[in-house]
Amino acid sequence: MKNYKAIGKIGEGTFSEVMKIQNLRDGNHYACKQMKQRFESIEQVNNLREIQALRRLNPHPNILTLHQVVFDRKSGSLALICELMDMNIYELIRGRRHPLSEKKVRHYMYQLCKSLDHMHRNGIFHRDVKPENILVKRDVLKLGDFGSCRSVYSKQPYTEYISTRWYRAPECLLTDGFYGFKMDLWSAGCVLYEMASLQPLFPGANELDQISRIHDVMGTPAEKTLTKFKQLTSLGRAPGLLGSLRNVF
C-alpha cells in the first residue's frame, strides 16, 4: 500500500471498510476495500469467493472493476483496489423530494439486469443485491460487493446468513437454505420499486413482519408453493416461522 495515499473513508461494514485512495504514481483515485479478517497465506486469499468472482466476471461494463489485490504476508492484511464510483443507489435516492425519471430508472435497471445476467451465466449469484451495493458514476451502473456470492452449482442447503432482510426473497425466509440464483431477481425487483418511489417495498422489522408485508402486497402463495417450502424445510428456524404464518396465509 506504500504506492497509495489515503484520502478518506467511504464506508464500513461488518467485514471490511472502504477508503478513497490515490495512486502516488499516476495520481488516479481508487476505492480500497480493506478486509478486517487476517489471512494466513496467498492461497487463502486466492480462495476468497469475492476475489474469485471479480476475477471471473471482469471485465464487464456493469461489474465493478478489480484493479489489484494487495496482500501483506507479515501482517496478514488484505486490500482490494477497485475503481472508484461516485455513489451508491441508496445515496442517490436518499433525501430526494422527487423520484428519478422513468427514463433514468429504466436505464439503471437495464444495466443492473445485464450485470445479473452476466454473473448468472458465469455460474455465480450475488445473494446481497441492494441499493448500497449498486454503484453509479454519471449514467453508468455497476454491481459491487461480492462478499456474499456463491456458485450456482454449490450444494444446498446454504447455512450462512445472506441478503439484507428488506431485499430477501421468500424462499430465503421460509426454508433453511434452499434457494438459488433467482433470489437476485427478487432483490432487483425491490430495488426497482425503491428507485421509482423512493420508498422500500418491504421494510420488515423482523422476519415474520417481512413475510407479512410480502403477503400484503403479493397475496397468498399457491398451495403447491407452500407445500414445497414445507418439504424443503428442516428442523431448524424456518418451521417455527412457517407455523407462525398460519394466521398470515
Same-domain status, 219 and 178: yes
Mean pLDDT over residues 116-125, rounded? 98
Residue 107 lies in a domain: yes
Same-domain status, 205 and 125: yes
Q: Please count the structural domains in the chain.
A: 2
Mean pLDDT over residues 239-243, rounded? 54
Question: Nine-digit cell at 216?
Answer: 400484503
Same-domain status, 106 and 155: yes
Same-domain status, 115 and 216: yes
pLDDT, one tens digit per residue, over 95-107 is: 899 999 999 999 9
| Pairing mode, strands 4-12 and 16-23 | antiparallel
CB-based contact 66:82 (threshold 8 Å): yes
Band of pLDDT at residue 236, cut at 50, 70 and 90: very low
Specify whether the backbone of 163 is left (phi greater than 0), alpha (psi in -120 to 50) or beta.
left
Kindly tell me if the per-residue pLDDT of 76 is higher than 60.
yes
Same-domain status, 76 and 125: no
Q: Which residues contact 36 (CB under 8 A, 6 or more apart)?
A: 14, 15, 16, 17
- 3-state helix, strand, coil split of the chain in percent (to 5) is 40, 20, 40
Find out whether 182 is annotated in a ligand binding site. no
Same-domain status, 45 and 151: no
What is the CATH classification number for the domain harbouring 158?
Answer: 1.10.510.10
Residue 139 annotated among the catalytic residues of the structure: no
What pLDDT, on a 0 to 100 scale, did the predictor assign at position 249? Answer: 54
Q: Which of 215, 216, 211, 221 has the alpha carbon at shortest distance from 241?
A: 211
Active-site residue, from 26, 86, 128, 209: 128
Q: Which residues contact 226 (CB under 8 A, 6 or more apart)?
A: 249
What pLDDT, on a 0 to 100 scale, did the predictor assign at position 161? Answer: 63
Residue 111 lies in a domain: yes
Same-domain status, 46 and 114: no
Kindly tell me if the per-residue pLDDT of 244 is higher than 60.
no
Kindly tell me if the per-residue pLDDT of 235 is higher than 50.
no
What pLDDT, on a 0 to 100 scale, did the predictor assign at position 67? Answer: 97
Between 184 and 164, where is the model more confident?
184
Same-domain status, 63 and 93: no
Place of cell 451465466: 121
What pLDDT, on a 0 to 100 scale, did the predictor assign at position 101? Answer: 96
Band of pLDDT at residue 229, cut at 50, 70 and 90: confident
What is the CATH classification number for the domain harbouring 76?
Answer: 3.30.200.20
Q: Whole-prediction pTM value?
A: 0.90
CB atoms within 10 A of CB 45: 18
The DSSP call for residue 181 is T
Kindly tell me if the per-residue pLDDT of 23 is higher than 50.
yes
**Domain that includes residue 38, residue range:** 4-83
**Domain end (from 51, 83, 115):** 83
